[in-house]
Amino acid sequence: MSRRLFASFILVAAVVLAALEIPLGIQNARTADRDLESRITRDVVAIATVSEDTLEAGSPPPKALITLAVGYSSRTGGRVVVINAQGSSVVDTDTPTGVVTTPRTFSSRPEFVIALAGRIATGTRSSATLGHRLIYVAAPVASGGRVHGAVRITYPTSAVDERVRHYWLLLAAIAGLVLAAVGAAGVILARWLARPLAQVEHAAAAAGRGDLSVRAPVDLGPPEVQSLGRSFNAMVVAIGGLLRAQRDFVADASHELRTPLAALRLRLENLERDVTAEARPGLDGALTEVERLSVLVDDLLALARADASQAAPEPVELRAVAAERVAIWEAVAADREVRLLLADGQAVTAAATPGAIAQVLDNLLSNALAVAPAGSAIRVDCQLLAGRARLLVEDEGPGLSAADRERAFDRFWRSAVEHGRGSGLGLAIVQRLVEADGGSARLEAAAGGGLRAVIELPGASER
């Protein structure tokens, strides 16, 4: 954002400078041309006045006129040509002395045609010989209403062009200094505006990741940004209160329901001795529902604890945790004639909340055992891929469709093959625990038609 603000300041300053300096430079160039033309016109008229008697009498030019023309040419760099009424040159400073030994005819030149007609001719033309522009002024030499000749001064515009170029460079230097000053001020202003907004953005990102203890600054930047920070903090506090109330309600309800459910189960089990054969299916169904409710209550309590977990991730050796959980679940797997296999490999260290990996594995192994057919195997593996730690649990069960794999992490969702078993919270708990540590969880189709759960966690080196 600071870069965009800085670019905006520079763009606005550049537009303003261009709007001011470009017309100023163009006007300066026009003024320089007009000033040069006015000065040359004044000099032409002066030389024409001195030449009047000589051209009217038709006598050779006096030394004073030649000296005046040569002196003017040496001082200004302009060329002075004086012609008579027939268009032949009388004085021409194109020669070092200004004396014309072999007269040249200029009667065909447009400016002399106009001057011999009694009018002043001005203009510019390019000189192929000199390689630059020339400005010329030709004026008639007349007396008593009769034109006796004409005077023309041609002046190279290189000197004027150089002054104009220097003026443009001066304007460019001023623009550079102004842009540098605007840039320095823009950097300071952009940082003043962007720093608190960046902190609000970081706070929002942290809150989105579940850290509701984060707060945005309220004493930095302009009043509008400070107000935004206060509003954000109030929102985070309100959301935190609502989430705490929700978690507390779920935890309290789950905890309070465990005792009456245990008592209800005990009463139902005590009825087994007295129930008739006809009522036995109903009693068994009631015991099954009580068992399911107990599992649901336990999972709700586990989910509430997972949502409330604020522990910092620590290095956890995945293969060691996996070996421990596989050893614990081996007896259950053996009862169901399912083999639990832990792949060999190097140690894989992940950054995770203490105890979270064990809980994740328990849920994944429980789900896999629920669908694994007798005689099949459940494989557990740990890998390190591109700095990320991976935990894999693969079964040989019926698997899930692509659509069902997407929905499997929804709370209270159960697949058709579970036939009403479980609470539908196991994978939701797994996802919540893994994402709290900056990881991800997904389900893939296994090669043998079963299901592969893939847990990715930051490697210990990423923390």
Distance in angstroms (rounded) separating the CA atoms of residues 368 and 379: 10
**Looking at residue 104, which CATH number applies to its domain?**
3.30.450.20
The two structure tokens encoding residue 171? 């304007």
Q: Is 196 contained in some domain?
A: no
Do 281 and 314 fall within a single domain? no
Among candidate residues 285, 308, 331, the one where a domain is terminated: 308
Distance in angstroms (rounded) separating the CA atoms of residues 429 and 359: 9
Its domain, for residue 367, covers: 310-462
Do 132 and 40 fall within a single domain? yes
pLDDT at position 205 over 60: yes
Q: Residue 377 — pLDDT band, cuts 50, 70, 90?
A: very high
Contact, 389 vs 350, CB < 8 A? Answer: yes
Q: Is 187 contained in some domain?
A: no
Average pLDDT over residues 431-459: 85
Q: Is 129 contained in some domain?
A: yes
Do 95 and 107 fall within a single domain? yes
User: What is the structure's pLDDT at 182?
Assistant: 85
Q: How many domains does the chain have?
A: 3
Q: Is 376 contained in some domain?
A: yes
Do 243 and 316 fall within a single domain? no
R_g (Cα) of the chain, nearest Å? 49
Q: Is 180 contained in some domain?
A: no
Average pLDDT over residues 113-130: 82
Do 276 and 245 fall within a single domain? yes
Do 135 and 228 fall within a single domain? no
Contact, 421 vs 311, CB < 8 A? Answer: no
Do 412 and 451 fall within a single domain? yes
The tens digit of pLDDT for each residue in 139-179 reads 999 887 788 899 999 888 777 778 888 989 998 999 889 88
Distance in angstroms (rounded) separating the CA atoms of residues 239 and 208: 11
For residues 285 and 131, the model is more confident at: 285
Contacts of 24 (CB under 8 A, 6+ apart): 171
Among candidate residues 95, 130, 162, the one where a domain is terminated: 162
Do 283 and 361 fall within a single domain? no
Q: Is 203 contained in some domain?
A: no
User: What is the structure's pLDDT at 32?
Assistant: 83
User: What is the structure's pLDDT at 340?
Assistant: 92
The tens digit of pLDDT for each residue in 296-326 reads 666 666 666 655 555 567 888 999 999 998 9
Q: What percent of the chain is predicted at pLDDT more than 90? A: 8
User: What is the structure's pLDDT at 337?
Assistant: 92
Q: Is 118 contained in some domain?
A: yes
Do 297 and 324 fall within a single domain? no
For residues 203 and 250, the model is more confident at: 203
Do 328 and 254 fall within a single domain? no
For residues 2 and 220, the model is more confident at: 220
The tens digit of pLDDT for each residue in 381-435 reads 998 888 889 999 999 888 888 888 888 877 666 665 554 455 567 788 788 888 8
Q: Is 414 contained in some domain?
A: yes
Average pLDDT over residues 361-385: 89
Contact, 80 vs 93, CB < 8 A? Answer: yes
Do 143 and 254 fall within a single domain? no
User: What is the structure's pLDDT at 150?
Assistant: 92
**Looking at residue 278, which CATH number applies to its domain?**
1.10.287.130
Distance in angstroms (rounded) separating the CA atoms of residues 211 and 408: 26
User: What is the structure's pLDDT at 140?
Assistant: 92
User: What is the structure's pLDDT at 380?
Assistant: 92
Among candidate residues 308, 330, 363, the one where a domain is terminated: 308
User: What is the structure's pLDDT at 338?
Assistant: 92
Distances 292 to 38, 216, 285, 420, 426 between C-alpha atoms, Å: 107, 44, 10, 9, 13
Q: What percent of the chain is predicted at pLDDT more than 70? A: 85
Mean pLDDT of the chain: 81
User: What is the structure's pLDDT at 357?
Assistant: 86
Do 394 and 443 fall within a single domain? yes
**Looking at residue 407, which CATH number applies to its domain?**
3.30.565.10
